[in-house]
Structure 1
Amino acid sequence: MTVRKACLVLPTHRECAATITAVAAEAAYATERFGVETVVLILDSTDPDTFARHAAAVTALPPGSTVVHLDEDAQRRFLRRVISRAATPKPELLLDLMLPGAVSYGACTNRAFLIAAALGCESVHRRDSDIEFQVHDGEPVFPIHHELASLGKPAGEAAAGVTRVELDPAHAGKPVVSVGASYIGAMSVDIDEMRQLDPEAYHDVVSLWAAEGTPEQELRELVAESFLGSGDDAFRADESTLCLVDPMRVDMGNISYYRVHEEIPLPPMTETIGSDYFLIHLVPDSRLPGVLHNRHVINKHTPDRKSDAAFHPYQLRFTKFFLSMLYLHPIYQRLGEEGERLLDERHRLRPGLVAAIVRESTTLDRAPNVRRLDQLDRTYRRLGGRYAEYADRLATVRDRLLAEAAQDMADYAVLIEAWSALVGAARAVGL
């Protein structure tokens, strides 16, 4: 009998030895509780000294832990083998999209998807380097408990293992392809300083991620709930709902996937907060079942985010997040309109249709993004200090950012079309 394999992924570009130890404990829990082989995959983009500290943390783990700890050189060698085996067009572009020279949350998770396939893992479970697990009755509250309980099961079967069912019976024969929750603690985007400095400026900035023309009341509701996760919803007892999961209720640091991550990758755009959330939208838009639970992780803001040196790069990622919305809002709308037409007769996603929808977005008028940049400039100058300094820097790169936002979607369409071949090649070459 083949043992089910799960890949517990921890991408990092910061020191996180304590998180490595905690995630390894979650993997051990999964193996003991569900009888699965759980591989901890650490994709490490840190400097050599930090990598060495992480390696020491791995060495110190209890016997029996299965950990794959890869620096970027090892990841690049793997990708070259995969891309060569896949024999797809534009191999150098694909390598750059999979391992760009700048921070890319989507690309890092895509690498995890391919490595999980190479390892023969059926599911992927993602955590972040700046999270902790809640503790209840002296025991850690591991999200993988709900993930492994439902992932891959037909929804009709998974219904027996949740506390609530809010899924149309018409979807009962489809597999549960995603299980997730959110976070408590610090905001997911580190902008609380702005909220404290000037609440109206905070509103003006955060509302930029809404679609143009959104009514003011909806804007205020959006701003009020954005980036706050589940607030102070500390764990008391398990709750889980079988449903089409609302993207606003889950976070990429507390998510798991079955099958869909091998059908559609994430946008590989660089220096863009939120670039790894595409599947969170695509799953419910295509009417695929998921489970929403309440084993929220604790989000932390590590000291490296607070430094002046980190401020400008972080604000750039925040700016590019807003610019990506010009394309993502229409894409999500189209995906929702297509609904089950996004699926084939086996309930698998149709990459060609998704790629076509993504590519169509590249022809959109960029005027709304010009207005977004104008609003950011005005608001940041009003805030003064290092915000005004960032506005000065932003003014020098506006045209480049506008062009990059459109190119990101064109590149994403290319990656979607190559993805099936890349996944097949990863399985073939192994790790």
Structure 2
Amino acid sequence: MRAVCLTLPTNRGCARTIAAVAEEAEYAARTFDVEVHLLVLDSAGERDRAAHASVLGGIAAPGVVVHHLDEARQHRFLSDVVARSGVAKPELVQELMLPAGVSYGACTNRAFLIGAALGCVSVHRRDSDSRYQTADGAPVFPIRHELLSLGRRARDAATAVTETALDPVDGDKTVVLVGSSFIGDLSVDIAEIRDLDPAVYREVVGLWAAEGATETQRRDLVEKSFTGAGAEPFTADHSVLTIVDPMHVDMCNVAFSRVQERIPLPPAVDTIGSDYFLLHLVRAARLPGVQHNRHIVNFHTAERKTDAGFPAYQRRLAKFFLSMRYLHHVYERMAAAGESLLDGDGHVRPDLVAGFVLESTSLDVAPNARRLDVLDRAYRALGGRYRAVAELLAAQRDRLLEEARRDMADFALLIEAWPRLVEASGTTGVPGR
């Protein structure tokens, strides 16, 4: 029986979502020959953690093993792993794995390592600000498609999908990615900008285009950005074996096998979108995946609208735009490398990817300075609390530019350390198991 890890990282109260994900775990254990390790990485406050513990404590389904780790337990696990691994700069590596600020990549990296410690062959990620669609009164669980195909040879997985759009030459490769998207609210909470001024919205969202993008390419990007699968609800299954397009998969609805044991996600703090790197890597290396239509429903939490949450969220968005200066370079280098990203056994080569990431840190920061100029002008034009965000970004301008560059240097370091961390995880116990 294979073990799989279904994980939900959270820093907010989400007892209802946890209960729904637990139902997905129970469905998977009941339907497939798997042991499901339901892993909740909990950075929420004490009262919310207690509510989460109450939900998780009531789970007694055959084949489901619950792991509820607060930050203290996560820290203890990581301390053991880092010590066993013998990596260089252990204090920095541990900080990158469990930083003080919000890091979308770091929380998933912790799930990858804990999944390895639990002997799981795949990691399936969900988010706290989402829920499942229903059909005929029952939840539509993405894990069905994930377990049907993930880890199988592509030509064998073809029997479990609706159609195949994969070149036969890739048929002997392993399916390493299964994912879908979302319906509902935009994945990034900026609909208010679009409502206030569509022209400003187009200018702001266009900031994540690659250098040299044409106006047509920029316009197309803006139209597709953060919209997921639109609004059409689920009616019937459809899945495609293919080289998956990252624009059609969201990290609230994704599962990985093999590749997460070779390369981590960028651990950048306070940076929206820092957890999408593996989607681009899988495509560049021409590794097979399955794209399906069991879209999750995305919704926005009230915290992002509060006096404290709003500027913090807008700063994370600004750092997303700045990160793209470096990530586009890496994506282009990986795309050019193609299948040379893989070794003789079909595994991704960490040394090659780390080299591309480190190379990006020497790029000119002038394009990022221009991005901040555009944000400053746009937010001041919007007025109100956006003007206050403009003041915040202006006061932190040099710091933001340096943070974005340093984030990539840290990512290169973590990639180099990753194989040893994964190996060490395999001999490290998970606290509270």
TM range (shorter): over 0.9
Could you say what secondary structure the match of 1:234 adopts? coil
TM-fit CA distance, 1:260: 0.4
1:216-260 Cα deviation digits (max 9, x unpaired): 111111111100000113111100000000000000000000010
Q: 1:18 aligns with which of 16, 19, 24?
A: 16
What is the rounded CA distance, in whole Å, between the counterparts of 2:413 and 2:301 in structure 1?
A: 35
- Listed as ranges, the gaps of 5+ residues in structure 1 are none
Alpha-carbon contact 1:40-1:67 (below 8 Å) kept: yes
Query: Which amino acid is 1:353 matched to?
Result: L
Structure 2 CA distance, aligned partners of 1:430 and 1:116? 11
Q: State the distance in 2 between where 1:251 and 1:74 align.
A: 28
Partner of 2:184: 185
Aligned residue type for 1:284:
R
Q: Give the corresponding residue for 2:289.
A: 290
Query: In 2, distance between residues paired with 1:309 and 1:411?
Result: 28
Counterpart for residue 4 of structure 1 = 2
Q: Is the 8 A contact 2:26 2:61 kept in 1?
A: no
Q: Decide whether the 8 Å contact of 1:186 with 1:301 is kept in 2.
A: yes
The corresponding residue for 1:92 is 91
Secondary structure at 2:6 match in 1: strand
2:129 match:
130
Give the match for residue 230 of structure 1.
Answer: 229
Alignment partners' CA distance in 2, 1:309 and 1:98: 25
| Equivalent residue runs for 1:335-350 within 5 Å | 335-350=334-349
Distance in 2 (alpha carbons) for counterparts of 1:84 and 1:270: 23
CA displacement 1:31-52 (0-9 Å, x = unmatched)? 1111200011000001111111
Provide the rounded CA distance (Å) in 1 between the counterparts of 2:127 and 2:289.
Answer: 21
TM-score (norm 1): 0.99
Taking the aligned partners of 1:420 and 1:214, their CA distance within structure 2 comes to 35
- Post-superposition CA distance 1:338-359 (Å, at most 9, x none): 0000001111000000000100
Alignment-derived partner of residue 28 in structure 1: 26
Partner residue in 2 for 1:376: 375
How big is the shift at 1:306?
A: 2.0
CA distance in 1, matches of 2:58, 2:160: 36
Deviations 1:366-423 (A, max 9, x none): 0000000000000100000000011011111000110111111111011001100000
Superposed CA RMSD in Å reads 0.8
Give distance in 2, aligned partners of 1:187 and 1:343. 34
Q: Counterparts of 1:265 and 1:288 in 2: how far apart (Å)?
A: 17
Aligned to 2:139: 140
Matches within 5 A, 1:9-408: 9-64=7-62, 65-408=64-407
Amino acid in structure 1 at the alignment position of 2:190: I
CA distance in 2: counterparts of 1:328 and 1:88, whole angstroms: 25
Q: Secondary structure at the match of 2:361?
A: helix
Decide which moves more: 298-307 or 55-64.
Answer: 55-64
The letter for the 2-side match of 1:131 is S
Distance in 1 (CA, whole Å) between partners of 2:61 and 2:266 is 37
Q: Which moved more, 1:54-63 or 1:421-430?
A: 54-63
SS in 2 for 1:295: coil
Q: Contact 2:4/2:123 (CA < 8 Å) preserved in 1?
A: yes
* 1:176–1:291 contact (8 Å) kept in structure 2: yes
Q: 1:143 and 1:306 mapped to 2: Cα distance?
A: 30
Q: Partner letter of residue 116 of structure 1?
A: G
Q: 1: distance between equivalents of 2:152 and 2:44?
A: 37
Q: 1:401 and 1:74 mapped to 2: Cα distance? A: 31
**Larger mean Cα displacement after TM superposition, 192-201 or 306-315:** 306-315
Cα offset, 1:317, TM superposition: 0.3
Q: Distance in 2 between matches of 1:217 and 1:349?
A: 33
1:21, 1:61 within 8 Å by CA — same for their partners in 2?
no
Size of the aligned set, in residue pairs, is 429
Cα separation, 2, equivalents of 1:332 and 1:212: 12
| Map of 1:427 onto structure 2 | 426
- Give the whole-Å Cα distance in 1 for the aligned partners of 2:398 and 2:142: 42
* SS of residue matched to 2:308: helix
CA distance in 2, matches of 1:248, 1:234: 19
SS in 1 for 2:37: strand
- Kindly provide the amino acid, as one letter, of the partner of residue 26 in structure 1: E
Provide Cα deviations, 1:254-286, integer angstroms capped at 9, x if missing partner. 000001000000000000000000001100110
Q: Is the 8 A contact 1:178 1:255 kept in 2?
A: yes
The one-letter code of the counterpart of 1:19 is: T
Quote the offset at 1:62 in angstroms. 4.2
Give the AA of the match of 1:101.
Answer: A
Q: Quote the offset at 1:290 in angstroms.
A: 0.3
Q: Which runs of 5+ in 2 are unaligned?
A: none
Q: Distance in 2 between matches of 1:183 and 1:343?
A: 30
Structure 1's consecutive aligned runs of 4 or more residues displaced over 2 angstroms after TM superposition are 60-65
* TM superposition shift of 1:61: 2.9
Decide which moves more: 218-227 or 376-385: 218-227
Alignment partners' CA distance in 2, 1:171 and 1:89: 37
Q: Give TM-score, length-normalised by structure 2.
A: 0.98
d(CA) in 1 for partners of 2:305, 2:313? 10
